[in-house]
Copies of this chain bind each other. A is one copy, B any other.
Amino acid sequence: MTPPVTGAALGGTPAFPQLLGRGRPWLPSRARIEAALDGIIERHWYTNHGPLAQELEQRLQAMLGVRHAVCVVNGTIGLVMAAEALGLRGKVLLPATARQAAVDSLAWTGLQPVFADANPDTLLTDRGHMQAAAEQAGSGLCAMLATRPWGLHGDTAGPIALASEHAIPVWFDSSDALGSIGLDESRPGRAGACEVFSLGPGRMVTATEGGCIVTDDDELAARLRNIRSSYGAGHPVKVVRTANGRMSEFQAAVALLSLDDLPANQAHLSTLLAAYRGALAGIPGIQMRPGAAHATSGVSAIISVDEAELGLSRDDLIRCMAVENIAAGPLLQAGAWSELAGAAHIAASCIRLPVGRAMTVDDACRVGETVRRIAHAAPALRVRA
């Protein structure tokens, strides 16, 4: 039973009348945001470590079981502040799949990146990859920046043990991972010297823009608060340079509401991923990644494309989906590490499919159905391309 080819990619009506957005926000409802804003305006306290920013820090501390949560204006600044507060000098090992903000946080603090490869099956950088990169780095390795790419994580203990062997600190870019559970059942928040979460757009716990650095280290927390310029939050300590990393009350208000929504949003994401899995099953050349156990780990639905099997390149599939009003995109941009085969394969083959609060199971099924139609029509589409 070949489904009829009726999609816009072949000249018909698009699968979706309006763009089904990539990274559709997991934002709280309008009424609740408005109610929170009322309180802010009443207090006339818009920024500078206000009551909602303080409440958010306390709530994250309790939720993650960590002594210090330092909320910041965005995750990128959080990563820069973490690298700065650690006071490092030299080469830092990190996965090639690390996001640009993590790489740039090293550049802002005078550190040199050394990239480790990743496994295209799990999308993760294993301990073996890190070890190989450490050996290639030679001397001058001063730290490791581990990551939880796209909220996925499987072996938190690995990088910590490796760093310990090299007698260097390790910290975590957990940008996409707040509230996630790893393949190893670990929950982010207490690994390494500190973890940096993003509360940016597209994240399940979002402050529209925002970030948070969490740590059990009192001294590191004090340095972070002083670098942030926190107007008296935490005790004053000497730091080399400060940044304005303050989170506004509006950001904190949205994040607090977003935390309330986390269980419901995680449940909703699970249904979307299940629907995608069902709808995409058996399409030659399309594979959903990673396993179902990751339902609450990621904020993306990820597929990989085998061009030979599908009969269409990954980029052509993205273009066809765009014509159908589905905002899909490459999972990973190629970087300075293009000689690393695993990461390069991920960059060349993976697609990020839309998820979000506003998306329904029917939407996910229709996306899957559309991909199936495009796959069936691949020979005809190739002729037209």
Cβ-based interface call for A75 (8 A):
yes
**This protein's copies in its complex:** 2
- For A240, the chain B residues whose CB sits under 8 A away are 107
Given contacts A241-B107, A243-B104, whether A41 and B33 have CB atoms under 8 Å apart is yes
Interface size on A, residues (CB 8 A): 39
Q: A30-B41, A76-B243, A104-B242 are in contact. List 4 more A-B contacts (CB 8 A).
A: A33-B41, A48-B201, A73-B209, A108-B108
Q: A136 in the interface, Cβ–Cβ < 8 Å?
A: no
Interface-facing stretch out of A178-186, A244-252, A345-353, A361-369: A244-252
* In the complex, chain A residues 130-144 whose Cβ is within 8 Å of any chain B Cβ: none
Q: Smallest CB-CB separation from A254: which chain B residue? A: B46
**A27 touches B (CB below 8 Å):** yes
Q: Which residues 220-266 in A have Cβ within 8 Å of B in the complex?
A: 229, 240-244, 246, 248, 250-251
In the complex, the 9 A-B pairs of residues with the closest C-beta atoms, listed nearest first:
A76-B244, A107-B241, A46-B208, A74-B244, A30-B41, A104-B241, A47-B209, A250-B250, A104-B242
CB of A320, distance to nearest CB on chain B (Å): 22
The interface residues of chain B lying within 8 Å CB-to-CB of A200 are 47, 244
Instruction: Looking at the assembled complex, report how far the CB atom of A35 sits from the nearest CB atom of chain B, in whole angstroms.
Output: 11
* A188 close to chain B: CB less than 8 A: no
CB < 8 Å neighbour of A201 from B27, B47, B243? B47
Give chain B residues whose Cβ lies under 8 Å from the Cβ of A77: 77, 243-244
- A34, CB-defined interface residue at 8 Å: yes
Check if A101 is an interface residue, CB within 8 A of chain B: yes
Chain B CB within 8 A of A44 CB: yes
- A100 interface contact, C-beta 8 A: yes
Query: How far is A48 from B201 in the complex, measured between Cα atoms in Å?
Result: 9
User: A283 at the A/B interface (Cβ < 8 Å)?
Assistant: no
Given known A25-B46, A27-B44, A46-B201, contact A209–B34 (CB-CB < 8 A): no
| Identity of the chain B residue whose Cβ is nearest the Cβ of A246 in the assembled complex | B209
Query: Residue on B with the closest CB to A80?
Result: B243
Name the residue of chain B whose CB is nearest to the CB of A100. Answer: B242
A37 near B: Cβ within 8 Å?
A: yes
Residues of B within 8 A of A34 (CB): 34, 37-38, 41
> Which B residues touch A100, using CB under 8 A?
242
Task: Pull 20 A–B residue pairs with CB atoms less than 8 Å apart, ordered by A.
Answer: A27-B46, A30-B41, A30-B42, A33-B37, A34-B34, A34-B38, A37-B37, A46-B201, A46-B209, A47-B208, A73-B73, A75-B244, A76-B229, A77-B243, A80-B243, A104-B243, A107-B240, A208-B250, A209-B246, A248-B250
